[in-house]
């Protein structure tokens, strides 16, 4: 029996057509999604599940010549959070739990919002190097704050604190621009990067290569177990990180400590101690300094402001970047230029009346010296003697000799913006004014427009001490692998050979010896040592009067109008091993202020540093005081 | 022992004859299609919930399948004409249950859909669908002779609109629109004169803006998210995107049973109720998806076939109603999973987890079997 009307049967056909059309549409859509775009969506679902994480590489260490670590790594607690689940509620809870300051909280939220822009499901570093109890508190509250993770990761540490801070440098977080700049290299945002000193210049060696871990997560971001991950991820799940290379320096931490201690009572100073036979730097002090431990990570805004407002400019390396008038330490240039051109004689005497007048200007000498020969003029640092010589030689010839000794060009150490300084010539002045004889007179005594760096001066004295080899200062001795194997060994590099006849240099050396070791010398008693024979030249450089800014903080013992105090020399006097330059910024008299500092450092070097390191045969025979005025002191 | 009843024939002959008659009258294609789809549903639910805190749902569903099977048999045995006679009473009961739900119901996602008797909960809106279909059958039977007068028509139409309104008020927009679609479909198929249906459709189109105004914010968000799924990747569009990823990633042959990463690692939201099809599509690929859709297609066509062969108008309309309900459920659910329709809580028959839905469809299929059984009028 069938009640279906023809009408119903007719409509039924339409209905079946509609059904076929509708379900056919679904099938077409399925074909589109699964067959045509299947690979793409498959890839998307893999990305849902498989996440990548960079494994930190261990940064290379920075060691002194005796392998004392100056920069090392220590384990630290870093806090990571996932932006997706970092709700204001979680933020408030975190703040309460750790007692975060406004400044810290600001940093956390800034990093979260930066992370959210990249990927809301990728954990970002929000607090680095947390104190142990903070880490413990987070661990305790794990179940309530499941998306906060404390990771145990290596963190940069400076075990010697601020020791040699300008050489070692510090690290700080990359800026977003720097992160974008790293084409190819694997970097995490918020990663630390070398900012200063060796940490910055040797970044590529120290950094190493990050590893990579691929792991599987579920929709809530919870890590899946190893077996599941192994089933989901093809290929290697872990690429091991490669540790960075370590640097072994030429610096001696012991000597560096001595040197820093010697200048500790001065507000601003610089010291360089360099090995005479090789140009290797043993100590390099720039004061005021900064603590790289503070700079790397925990610098508060107040501390940063304090450091930036300091008129002594703690971030400018006073051995390499800053340049100063060298004062009388520069007189060897005048002396050697005059001797080479036959314009000075050892026994020529010049009368000093304490004043020197040229073209309407009066130049004052340090004292009324009377009649002096060349060596005594060096001993007493009589300006008038050298002004007299300068007028005979002319500014350009002095500049030639200065350039031979490395002034006016970068030392080539490749650190902290190594400055070329300035050696004025006639054409230098003629560019903007009419040349005056006064410029020549000023140059002769390291004043006026002569500007040198502490490093340039010490390298020049190294060349004087070793018979004419001007080295490129060397700070890094070798690059080593994490297992200790040497990768690169650096040899001393000669910048240029200077062919000043030895007998002329000897005249200058005799003057230096007398300046320190004979009564009347500018360094007499100040730098005279009974322990190790020291020879050297003092310098008291006048500074251009500069008015202090109104809001400048007052610093005790800091008088920006006072002269710079210099001492440049070496020890032992006749068999030179190390050369030294001491600069006390605005310290006053070179002999009185810088002399004792140089003496303290050289005596410390002789008794505490040199005595314990095994001396090479032949070098052990130390000369006694008084034996040094003779010729042939070059090694 | 001998079996003695009201039969005079030898026992062996009686047995063979009754077995043959039973075998001949049971609608095997219908039964097989339902069994196949239910089996796929259970298989899929196992994969979707195994090893999670939802694992208990599988055991629960197995129990419901047995209850549903029993309901199917009972609905087959009962003469559908008796049910059609009680249609208005059934609708009355449904309406009162819906009223109870609207007043004291338990909410899920801010809407009240559940009613509890002791610890057993159910969604009256599911059973209301059956009541509406039965009433439609009765209605069409009553108006089979002459065109009805307006006086008799209006109260009946109002009676049918009431449950829709009550469900929409819960608010369960998915079920309400589904019920509307079922009534329209039945109307278009069973009415002699199509013009009243055209008018109705016209009025409904006009009503859309008003409906939009009365919708809840989360409903609006879902509709908007459907229109522009990329706009908010973690919000409403997230569900759709993840579902599309799951389906697409199955490619032609699928990732393998219980190997779907989207399913296993919870990237699919509510994958046991609203999104079981994406679980299936991810693990069985285009081939599996096609088979499932083909099974549904076959089931619907077969029910329509039963309708054409029904002995009376009531039976035909009953079947058309069930076919329409099944069709719209499948279409809306799968279209939603494939990102072609907004996310609404419409289940996939026999596959989605949930006792009310399962029971409703088993009862509905039982009624179709009842119509089929009685087509020759023994």
The verdict on whether omega for the bond into residue A572 sits within 30 degrees of 0, i.e. cis, is: yes
Q: E strands of A452-595, at which residues?
A: 469-472, 476-480, 486-489, 493-497, 535-541, 564-571, 578-584
Whether residues A234 and A288 fall in one domain:
no
Whether residues A239 and A267 fall in one domain:
no
Pick from B245, B261, B304: CB nearest A232: B261
Query: Is B215 domain-assigned?
Result: yes
Contacts of B251 in chain A (CB under 8 A): 34-35, 38-39, 42
In the block, tokens 């220590």 appear at A74
pLDDT of B278 over the 80 cut:
yes
* pLDDT tens string A564-580: 999 999 999 999 999 99
Pick from B250, B261, B316: CB nearest A4: B316
Q: Provide the pLDDT for residue B204.
A: 76
Query: Is A5 domain-assigned?
Result: no
End residue of a domain, out of A226, A244, A262: A244
Contacts of A22 in chain B (CB under 8 A): 327, 331
Whether residues A180 and A285 fall in one domain:
no
Domain of A345? 253-631
Query: Is A33 domain-assigned?
Result: no
CB contact under 8 A, B247 and A33: yes
End residue of a domain, out of A182, A215, A244: A244
How many domains is chain A partitioned into structurally?
A: 2
The structure tokens listed for A544 are 């251009």
Q: Provide the pLDDT for residue B35.
A: 96
Query: Is A339 domain-assigned?
Result: yes
| Minimal-distance CA residue of chain A relative to B269 | A219
CB contacts < 8 A, A to B, total 133
Query: Is B3 domain-assigned?
Result: no
Query: Is A349 domain-assigned?
Result: yes
How many domains is chain B partitioned into structurally?
A: 1
Query: Is A3 domain-assigned?
Result: no
Query: Is B324 domain-assigned?
Result: yes
Query: Is B48 domain-assigned?
Result: no
End residue of a domain, out of A209, A244, A279: A244
Distance from CA of A128 to the nearest CA of B (A): 29
Say if the ipTM goes beyond 0.90. no
A94 neighbors A108 (Cβ within 8 angstroms): yes
A334 neighbors A407 (Cβ within 8 angstroms): no
Residue A137 to residues A99, A127, A144, A145, A434, Cα–Cα distance (Å): 11, 14, 12, 11, 74
Whether residues A498 and A479 fall in one domain:
yes
* pLDDT tens string B336-347: 899 888 777 789
Average of per-residue pLDDT across A587-603: 94
CB contact under 8 A, B304 and A16: yes
Pick from A15, A33, A40: CB nearest B338: A33
Whether residues A362 and A425 fall in one domain:
yes
CB contact under 8 A, B308 and A9: yes
Neighbouring C-beta atoms of residue A631, cutoff 10 Å: 13
Q: What is the average pLDDT score of chain B?
A: 82
A102 neighbors A92 (Cβ within 8 angstroms): no
Per-residue DSSP letter, B312: S
User: Which of B241, B249, B337 should be substituted to probe chain A, the one whose Cβ sees the most A Cβ atoms within 10 Å?
Assistant: B249
User: Which of B245, B264, B322, B326 should be substituted to probe chain A, the one whose Cβ sees the most A Cβ atoms within 10 Å?
Assistant: B245
pLDDT band of residue A621 (cuts 50, 70, 90) is: very low
Q: Provide the pLDDT for residue A130.
A: 86
pLDDT band of residue A624 (cuts 50, 70, 90) is: very low
Q: Residue B47 in 3-state DSSP? A: helix
Domain of B335? 32-42+54-374
Query: Is A35 domain-assigned?
Result: no
* pLDDT tens string A222-262: 777 777 777 777 777 888 889 999 999 999 999 999 999 99
Higher pLDDT, B57 or A173: B57
Whether residues A212 and A305 fall in one domain:
no
Query: Is B5 domain-assigned?
Result: no
Q: What is the average pLDDT score of chain A?
A: 87
Whether pTM > 0.90 for this model: the answer is no
Query: Is B250 domain-assigned?
Result: yes
pLDDT band of residue B147 (cuts 50, 70, 90) is: low
Average of per-residue pLDDT across A179-191: 68
- Sheet (strand B120-122) strand order: B106-108, B111-117, B120-122
Query: Is B168 domain-assigned?
Result: yes
Whether residues A416 and A438 fall in one domain:
yes
pLDDT band of residue A22 (cuts 50, 70, 90) is: very high
Whether residues A226 and A320 fall in one domain:
no
CB contact under 8 A, A38 and B293: no
Query: Is B96 domain-assigned?
Result: yes
How would DSSP label each residue in B106-160?
EEETTEEEEEEETTEEE-HHHHHHHHHHHHHHHHHHHTSSSPPPHHHHHHHHHHH
Whether residues A195 and A304 fall in one domain:
no
pLDDT band of residue A186 (cuts 50, 70, 90) is: low
Query: Is A554 domain-assigned?
Result: yes
The structure tokens listed for A165 are 């801070």
pLDDT of A632 over the 50 cut:
no
Average of per-residue pLDDT across B133-160: 80
Neighbouring C-beta atoms of residue B51, cutoff 10 Å: 9
The structure tokens listed for A274 are 């360099």
Residue B327 phi/psi, 5° resolution?
Answer: -55, -50
Query: Is A620 domain-assigned?
Result: yes
Whether residues A205 and A294 fall in one domain:
no
Cα–Cα distance between A606 and A529 in angstroms, integer? 11
The dihedral over CA atoms of A409, A410, A412, A414, expressed in degrees to the nearest 10, equals: -160
pLDDT band of residue A536 (cuts 50, 70, 90) is: very high
CA angle B240, B243, B248 (to 5 degrees): 125
What region, left, alpha or beta, does residue A547 occupy, with left being phi > 0 and alpha being psi -120 to 50 degrees?
Answer: beta
pLDDT band of residue B276 (cuts 50, 70, 90) is: very high
CATH number for A197? 3.90.1310.10
Q: Provide the pLDDT for residue A498.
A: 94
* pLDDT tens string A31-90: 999 999 989 988 888 877 887 777 888 999 999 999 999 999 988 888 888 887 788 888
Q: Provide the pLDDT for residue A546.
A: 66
**Burial degree of A606 (CB within 10 A; 0-12, 13-18, 19+):** buried
Mean pLDDT lowest for which of A206-220, A229-243, B99-113? B99-113
Whether residues A91 and A231 fall in one domain:
yes
């Amino acid at each position: 029996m069938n009640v279906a009307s023809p009408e119903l049967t007719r409509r039924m056909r339409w209905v079946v057509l509609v059904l076929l059309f509708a379900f056919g549409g679904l099938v077409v859509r399925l074909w589109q999604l699964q067959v045509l775009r299947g690979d793409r969506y498959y890839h998307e679902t893999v990305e849902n599940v498989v996440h990548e994480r960079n494994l930190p590489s261990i940064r290379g260490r920075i060691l002194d010549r005796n392998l004392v670590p100056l920069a090392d790594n220590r384990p630290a607690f870093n806090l990571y959070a996932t932006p997706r689940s970092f709700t204001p509620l979680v933020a408030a809870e975190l703040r309460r739990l750790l007692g975060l300051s406004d400044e810290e909280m600001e940093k956390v939220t800034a990093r979260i919002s930066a992370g959210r822009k990249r990927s809301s499901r990728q954990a970002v570093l929000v607090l680095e190097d947390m104190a142990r109890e903070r880490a413990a508190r987070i661990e305790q509250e794990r179940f309530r704050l499941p998306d906060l993770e404390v990771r145990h990761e290596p963190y940069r540490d400076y075990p010697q604190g601020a020791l040699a801070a300008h050489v070692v440098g510090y690290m700080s977080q990359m800026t977003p621009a720097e992160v974008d700049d790293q084409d190819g290299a694997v970097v995490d945002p918020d990663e630390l990067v070398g900012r200063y000193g060796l940490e910055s210049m040797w970044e590529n060696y120290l950094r190493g290569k990050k590893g990579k871990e691929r792991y599987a997560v579920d929709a809530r971001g919870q890590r899946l177990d190893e077996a599941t991950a192994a089933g989901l991820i093809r290929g290697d799940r872990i690429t091991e990180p490669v540790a960075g290379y370590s640097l072994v320096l030429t610096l001696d931490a012991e000597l560096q400590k001595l040197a820093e201690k010697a200048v500790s009572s001065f507000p601003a100073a610089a010291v360089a101690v360099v090995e005479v036979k090789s140009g290797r730097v043993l100590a390099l002090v720039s004061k005021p300094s900064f603590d790289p431990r503070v700079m790397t990570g925990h610098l508060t805004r107040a501390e940063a402001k304090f450091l930036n407002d300091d008129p002594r400019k703690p971030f400018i390396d006073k051995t390499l970047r800053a340049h100063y008038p060298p004062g009388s330490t520069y007189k060897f240039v005048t002396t050697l230029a005059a001797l080479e051109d036959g314009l000075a004689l050892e026994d020529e005497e010049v009368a000093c009346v304490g004043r020197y007048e040229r073209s309407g200007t009066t130049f004052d000498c340090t004292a009324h010296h009377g009649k002096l020969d060349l060596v005594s003029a060096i001993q007493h640092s009589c300006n008038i003697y050298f002004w007299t010589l300068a007028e005979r030689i002319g500014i350009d010839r002095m500049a030639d000799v200065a350039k031979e000794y490395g002034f006016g060009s970068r030392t080539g150490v490749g650190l902290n913006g190594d400055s070329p300084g300035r050696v004025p010539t006639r054409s230098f002045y003629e560019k903007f004014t009419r040349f005056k004889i006064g410029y020549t007179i000023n140059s002769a005594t390291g004043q006026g427009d002569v500007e040198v760096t502490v490093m340039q001066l010490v390298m020049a004295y190294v060349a004087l001490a070793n018979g004419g080899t001007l080295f490129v200062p060397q700070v890094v001795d070798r690059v080593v692998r994490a297992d200790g194997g040497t990768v690169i060994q650096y040899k001393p590099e000669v910048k240029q050979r200077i062919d000043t006849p030895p007998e002329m240099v000897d005249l200058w050396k005799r003057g230096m010896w007398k300046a320190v070791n004979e009564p009347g010398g500018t360094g007499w008693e100040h730098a005279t040592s009974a322990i190790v024979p020291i020879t050297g030249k003092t310098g008291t450089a006048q500074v251009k009067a500069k008015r202090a800014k109104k809001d400048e903080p007052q610093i005790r013992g800091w008088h920006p109008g006072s002269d710079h105090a210099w001492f440049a020399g070496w020890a032992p006097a006749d068999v030179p091993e190390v050369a030294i330059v001491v600069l006390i910024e605005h310290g006053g008299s070179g002999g009185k202020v810088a002399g004792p500092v140089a003496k303290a450092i050289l005596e410390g070097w002789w008794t505490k540093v040199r005595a314990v390191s095994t001396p090479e045969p032949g070098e052990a025979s130390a000369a006694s005081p008084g034996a040094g005025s003779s010729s042939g002191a070059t090694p | 022992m001998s079996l003695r009843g009201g039969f005079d024939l030898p026992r062996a002959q009686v047995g063979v004859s009754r077995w043959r008659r039973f075998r001949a009258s049971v609608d095997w294609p219908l039964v097989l299609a339902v069994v196949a789809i239910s089996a796929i549903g259970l298989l899929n639910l196992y994969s979707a919930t195994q090893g999670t805190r939802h694992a208990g749902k599988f055991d629960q569903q197995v129990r419901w399948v047995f209850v549903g099977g029993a309901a199917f048999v009972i609905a087959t045995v009962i003469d559908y004409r008796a049910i059609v006679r009680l249609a208005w009473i059934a609708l009355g009961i449904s309406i009162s249950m819906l009223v109870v739900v609207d007043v004291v119901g338990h909410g899920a996602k801010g809407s009240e859909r559940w009613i509890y008797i002791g610890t057993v909960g159910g969604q009256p809106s599911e059973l209301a669908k059956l009541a509406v279909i039965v009433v439609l059958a009765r209605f069409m039977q009553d108006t089979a002779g002459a065109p009805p007068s307006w006086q008799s028509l209006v109260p009946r139409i109002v009676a049918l609109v009431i449950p829709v309104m009550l469900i929409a008020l819960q608010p369960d927009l998915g079920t309400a629109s589904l019920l509307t679609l079922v009534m329209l479909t039945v109307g278009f198929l069973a009415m002699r004169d199509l013009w009243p249906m055209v008018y109705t459709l016209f009025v409904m189109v006009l009503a859309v803006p008003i409906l939009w105004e009365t919708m809840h914010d989360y409903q609006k968000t879902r509709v908007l998210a459907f229109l522009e799924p990329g706009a908010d990747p973690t919000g409403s569009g997230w569900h759709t995107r993840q579902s599309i990823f799951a389906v697409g990633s199955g490619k032609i042959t699928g990732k393998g049973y219980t190997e779907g990463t989207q399913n296993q690692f919870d990237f699919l939201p509510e994958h046991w109720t609203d999104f079981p099809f994406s679980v299936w599509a991810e693990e069985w690929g285009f081939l599996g998806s096609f088979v499932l859709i083909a099974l549904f297609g076959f089931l619907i066509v077969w029910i329509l076939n039963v309708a054409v062969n029904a002995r009376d108008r009531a039976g035909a309309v009953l079947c058309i109603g069930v076919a329409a309900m099944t069709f719209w459920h499948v279409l809306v659910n799968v279209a939603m999973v494939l990102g072609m329709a907004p996310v609404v809580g419409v289940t996939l028959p026999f596959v989605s987890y949930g006792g009310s839905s399962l029971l409703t469809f088993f009862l509905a299929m039982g009624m179709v079997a009842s119509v089929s059984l009685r087509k020759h009028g023994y």
